[in-house]
Structure 1
Amino acid sequence: MAMTLEDFENAFPVRLELPVQWGEMDAFNHVNNVTYFRYFESARIAYFEACGLFGRKESSGIGPILASTECQYRRPVNYPDRLWVGARIGEIQRFGFIQHYGIFSQTQQALTTEGSGRIVLLDYNTNAKVEPDAQLLARIAELQGQ
């Protein structure tokens, strides 16, 4: 079954709208594969801002770092288009979480791209991994309607 915009909105509690830029196109007349990781990054940062991770890094030195990422291209995206890019947490792990991303094309009215990233919490003062605390876990649960 195809994902509708309503399904997308329900699946991704943090979303942002991005225009496809002409310069993001490649020689095959679709958005270059590297660009999708920039879209994911924008959603990741929006999620971090929504759950207060950047403020924590400033006050405690503890913040997120991307440990790995992947992308599944479902449908090509072309200029002109506007995209909804979303992020959600899929799995809490000992030292961080798995974050999932989706890209929904307004022109195609379809999910075009999915991805994920493993996020580790790091004490930037010591470079040691840190477990998520209760406050962060509560904010993630609140964002995700749990």
Structure 2
Amino acid sequence: MRLLARSVLPTRSPPTHRAPHAPRQHSTSAPSKDAATAALSPRWLSDLKTRVGQCIAFGISREQVKEAGDILHNVNFNWKDLVAGSEGFLTGKHRWGLHRQQVAWGEMDSMGHVNNVTYNRWAESARVNWGMNFARMDTDHRDEWEALVTPKGIGMILRSIRTDYKFPIKYPDRVTVLHRLRSMPKADTDHFILDVVILSELHRRVAARCVEDIVMYNYKAGKKSAMEPFMIDMLQETFNLQEQAKLKYGNKALELIRRVQALEKASWDRPDAKEDFGSANP
């Protein structure tokens, strides 16, 4: 028996959920205000996936399906660049602090999520690796860079740390932790600020943000010390790369948002849109 297809399709109606674009509140550990994504929801990337899914569910053409697939491919495979790179964090493998660090079951507390202290430990371990990355890049001064995490000469001391928890991480998950210089280091600098993002690989968004106040300390002299000129040069180069990453990936993020908006305008949000329920014929 053949079922009759519906002769009249319902008029268009917006999806039940559309990603909000309200400006987010800033704190001392919020994204830098000049980042292209600073005013977006913390869930903006996952919201994009939801919005693309709503377009597909409403019914789109073959060409639009191809466009939707390319958008989702970018979101899924370049999410660290889009989330962290757009804020100026360097996401290349030579810049990782921690990369896909396995969350241990024993790191959870009685509340069923990772204990708050663990976030600071991740940030600390990542900061050490962040410093060691310079030793691998600047082989002429490898010993001096490696000495930064020892009490043998001039080292980095954590003066203070502030952590803002965005959502609780639970086992199983993996975390990636990245550091970013907040400002351009100057000659004779004896301290600097590092911004930190702790990314959940499972949820593909920021789980926590930290701000670390770092002091250069001469253990032999027992007092603060200015950074060596070669260190200033490396950190200035790093800061410039951060600014380039912020521009590059910020523009890519905004372009993805524009593409999703265009897909919506061409599907459920066009004036004559009618939802495609498919054929009822067997």
* TM-score between the two structures when normalised by the length of structure 2: 0.48
Q: Quote the offset at 1:9 in angstroms.
A: 4.5
2:182 aligned counterpart, secondary structure: strand
The counterpart of 1:87, out of the listed 147, 170, 179, is 179
Q: Quote the offset at 1:8 in angstroms.
A: 4.0
Which residue does 2:108 correspond to in 1?
Answer: 25
Find the aligned partners of 2:129 and 2:238 in 1 and give their Cα distance: 12
Which residue does 1:77 correspond to in 2?
Answer: 169
Cα 1:57–1:30 shift into 2, 3 Å: closer
Which residue does 2:125 correspond to in 1?
Answer: 42
Percent of pairs identical after alignment? 30
Count residues in correspondence.
Answer: 145
Cα 1:8–1:125 shift into 2, 3 Å: farther
Q: Quote the offset at 1:57 in angstroms.
A: 6.9
CA contact (8 A) 1:43 1:101 kept: no
2:126 aligned counterpart, secondary structure: helix
1:70 aligned counterpart, secondary structure: strand
CA deviation string 1:58-115 (max 9, x = no partner): 7x71111111111000111110001111111113474111111101111111111000
Matched AA of 2:233: A
CA contact (8 A) 1:51 1:143 kept: no
Structure 1 residues 56-75: aligned runs within 5 Å: 61-75=153-167
The counterpart of 1:106, out of the listed 201, 208, 225, is 201
Cα 1:139–1:32 shift into 2, 3 Å: same
Q: Cα RMSD (Å) of the superposition? A: 2.1
Which residue does 2:67 correspond to in 1?
Answer: none
Asked whether 1:118 is paired with 2:213, we answer: yes
Larger radius of gyration: 2
1:51 aligned counterpart, secondary structure: helix
Find the aligned partners of 1:31 and 1:76 in 2 and give their Cα distance: 7
Which residue does 2:235 correspond to in 1?
Answer: 140
Cα 1:125–1:36 shift into 2, 3 Å: same
Find the aligned partners of 1:80 and 1:56 in 2 and give their Cα distance: 33
Identify unmatched segments of 5+ residues in structure 2: 1-39, 46-78, 136-144, 243-282
Which residue does 1:127 correspond to in 2?
Answer: 222
Find the aligned partners of 1:67 and 1:37 in 2 and give their Cα distance: 13
Q: Quote the offset at 1:56 in angstroms.
A: 5.7
Whose helix proportion is higher, 1 or 2? 2
Find the aligned partners of 2:172 and 2:149 in 1 and give their Cα distance: 37
Q: Quote the offset at 1:54 in angstroms.
A: 2.2
Cα 1:128–1:138 shift into 2, 3 Å: same
* TM-score between the two structures when normalised by the length of structure 1: 0.88
Find the aligned partners of 1:81 and 1:56 in 2 and give their Cα distance: 31
CA contact (8 A) 2:147 2:153 kept: no
Greater shift, 92-101 or 30-39, is seen at: 92-101
Asked whether 1:51 is paired with 2:134, we answer: yes
